[in-house]
Amino acid sequence: MNARLLKNGFAALLFPCVLAAASCGAQKECYYDGPPYSPEDAGTAACPTTPTTTSVQFGIPAPMTGLTYEQCKPEVSSGTGASTRYFTGLYTPAQIDRLETMVLSETSPHKAKLPYLPTDLDDNPWDHPDLYTFPSESTVCGLKIVNAANPNAIIYSLETYASKASAEAAGARVTNLGICGHCSSLSDLAKLLRIPDRAYRVRQCAIKSLTDGKEAVYNCIKEFGLTDNCAMIWYYNAMYTYNACLGRCAKLAEANYHTASGELNDCMMCNSEKADALFKLLAGRRDDGQPISMCRQIPEDEWICHNYADHFDDPYSCIGIGAPKQKWNCTLDDYNMDTRDYDLEKCVFTTE
């Protein structure tokens, strides 16, 4: 076994679920138009020419996703015929840049109610779940424009509301389901929108723990451009999943994120079952209509548009009747294996 594969194998065991990879067993990889597929029993199972799932999910496939673009798309729809409604989670680089020009108010109401977050790398909040109170499922984080006098530095605030209806009644737009957390800022949103295959990026950061320790993992995640507290949450989640999901992840180091049936593999499911609730509470920004490389079904409550700076008159332009204006223009052949992501300048285009 070469040194690179050995190193990646150890890293997968160390951070199995966040890495979105993890099988140290004797599995082989099979390919169909790019993505690898690893059957659970590589000794007897044949490599399929395509996954067996027929359900279209929401996301942007990467080589490790295990689904094709016919099975996972960054747009969804409901209804039929002329009444078909669509939602797209795509944004051009220029639109993402606009999000980054927006400024979070120093007096934003959410700041006084942020959940407790330790500052010690060894004091993981997942070890103290009793410290946290979880909100009702109807809770949302709402965004208000405070001052738009300077179009290049629009000031906004965030506040947690009991429901979408109460947020809209107060003049706010929903920016994520759940509370306003440490990752709910538009700065963090912009950074995350640029890395739909963030699972691989976190994996590369986790590898640094083998030689450089925990602080190197945090600093690597911080290089994504995330705010300090948001990066800390991603770090804590990575560390926690090692202990919580090691048994279920040890055989899935090189497996795709999804099985042939379209479901997340057992390692990813462990991460979801054991870590998602607290991650959503701490980060806030999780269920917010972003398409990522781990595909899923997305409820209409999560059809959330993030074009706050450019569409005051048409704030929900990512939702409409007919066909989306923003389209995805890439295939897995366009995935950059050096940067481990897509060039959004090329991949996202506007039809009108």
Banded model confidence at residue 78, pLDDT cuts 50, 70, 90: confident
State the Cα–Cα distance between residues 167 and 198, nearest whole angstrom.
Answer: 30
Question: Which is higher by pLDDT, 65 or 199?
Answer: 65
Among 145-159, 164-178, 322-336, which stretch is predicted with the lowest mean pLDDT?
A: 322-336
Q: What total number of domains does the chain contain? A: 1
What integer is the mean pLDDT of 29-44? Answer: 31
- Range(s) of the domain holding residue 343: 3-350
* C-alpha span between 160 and 172 (Å, rounded): 10
By percentage, how much of the chain surpasses pLDDT 90?
Answer: 57
Question: Could you tell me which residue, 8 or 132, shows the higher pLDDT?
Answer: 132
Q: Would you say 165 and 135 are in contact if contact means Cβ atoms under 8 Å apart?
A: no
pLDDT the model gives residue 338:
86
- In whole angstroms, what is the distance from residue 218 CA to residue 228 CA? 9
What local confidence, expressed as pLDDT, does residue 316 receive?
57
Q: How confident is the model at residue 238 (pLDDT cuts 50, 70, 90)?
A: confident
Lowest mean pLDDT across 76-80, 101-105, 281-285: 76-80
Could you tell me which residue, 130 or 325, shows the higher pLDDT? 130
Using one digit for the tens of pLDDT, what is the confidence trace for 289-314? 999 999 999 999 999 999 887 655 56
What integer pLDDT is reported at residue 315 of this predicted model? 58
Question: Once rounded to an integer, what is the mean pLDDT over residues 106-119?
Answer: 96
Q: How far apart are the C-alpha atoms of 47 and 70, rounded to whole Å?
A: 19
What's the chain's average pLDDT?
82
Relative orientation angle of helices 198-207 and 214-222, to the nearest 10 degrees: 150
Give the whole-angstrom CA distance, residue 297 versus residue 201. 23
What's the mean pLDDT in 81-107? 91
Confidence class for position 6, pLDDT limits 50, 70, 90: very low
- Identify the pLDDT of residue 235: 92
| Amino acid found at 150 | N
